[in-house]
Amino acid sequence: MTFSVQPILENENVKLIPLQETDFEALYEVASDPKVWEQHPNKDRWKREVFKNFFDGAMQSKGAFKIVDKTNDKVIGSTRFYDYDPQDDSILIGYTFYGTACWGKGINQAVKKIMLDYIFQFVSKVNLHVGATNIRSQIAVGRIGAEKIAEQEVTYFGEQPKLNFVYQIDQAKWNEIRENYL
């Protein structure tokens, strides 16, 4: 089945818009806070040159989004779809980050819900890479019903490999919990 890994997705709170080169400054404004990266595998991503590498990888992925808060039209983070595998009938969601002002406000839940609702029209499984030391994100993916299925060294674009946990949720599990998720 043909689908886009970079559609425009939105709900009443947020809008996911395909990432463009012109989004660098607005996204870096969010990413330049060291606190955003405390638990992520690359803790230096708040540095401009390190974030530029991350941004270049996002652009090359052709599945990255900027996340916009619809109440004020400000960029608040980024996420992406990547590594679609037609044989496994799966795709990954990851590289997600939000500005600290969004933490604890249900933004991640809203973003994951619209992404999962969309992508489960085309695949039966979604995998998520989460840094082994990123407890905050491990808890968040557990809330969507994803379960840890593996550990894997992941080489991020232009960076050294880092240990990640692989979580998975399938369409049937998502359908069971989605109504009670938000």
Q: What integer best gives the mean pLDDT of the chain? A: 93
Is the predicted pLDDT of residue 157 greater than 80, yes or no? Answer: no
- Sign of the Cα torsion 90, 113, 96, 37 reads negative
Residue 118 lies in a domain: yes
What average pLDDT score do residues 5-24 get? 96
Token pair for residue 66? Answer: 């900027």
pLDDT of residue 59: 97
Residue 107 lies in a domain: yes
Residue 1 lies in a domain: no
Domain with residue 103: its CATH number is 3.40.630.30
CA dist., res. 129 & res. 151, Å (int): 9
Q: Which of 170, 174, 63 is nearest to 126 (CA)?
A: 170
Residues 6+ apart with CB under 8 A from 4: none
Residue 155 exposure: Cα atoms within 13 Å on the Cβ side: 2
pLDDT of residue 153: 86
- Cα torsion 140, 145, 149, 152 to 10°: value is -30
Residue 169 lies in a domain: yes
Residues 6+ apart with CB under 8 A from 139: none
Residue 13 lies in a domain: yes
Q: What is the pTM of this model?
A: 0.93
The position carrying tokens 């955003």 is 36
pLDDT of residue 180: 80
Is the predicted pLDDT of residue 1 greater than 70, yes or no? Answer: no
Total domains in the chain come to 1
Residue 52 lies in a domain: yes
Residue 146 lies in a domain: yes
Is the predicted pLDDT of residue 9 greater than 90, yes or no? Answer: yes
CB–CB of 146/169 below 8 Å?
yes
Residue 101 lies in a domain: yes
pLDDT, tens digit, 9 for 90 and up, residues 28-49: 999 999 999 998 888 999 999 9
Is the predicted pLDDT of residue 134 greater than 70, yes or no? Answer: yes
What average pLDDT score do residues 95-118 get? 94
> For residue 111, what pLDDT band results from cuts at 50, 70 and 90?
very high
**Beta-carbon count within 10 A of 104 CB:** 8
Q: Which domain holds residue 15?
A: 9-181
Is the predicted pLDDT of residue 155 greater than 80, yes or no? Answer: no
Pair type for strands 74-85 and 161-170: unpaired
pLDDT, tens digit, 9 for 90 and up, residues 73-106: 999 999 999 999 999 999 999 999 999 999 989 9
Q: Where are the alpha helices (DSSP H) in the chain?
A: 24-31, 48-61, 107-119, 135-143, 171-181
> For residue 162, what pLDDT band results from cuts at 50, 70 and 90?
confident
Q: What percentage of the chain has pLDDT greater than the value 90? A: 81
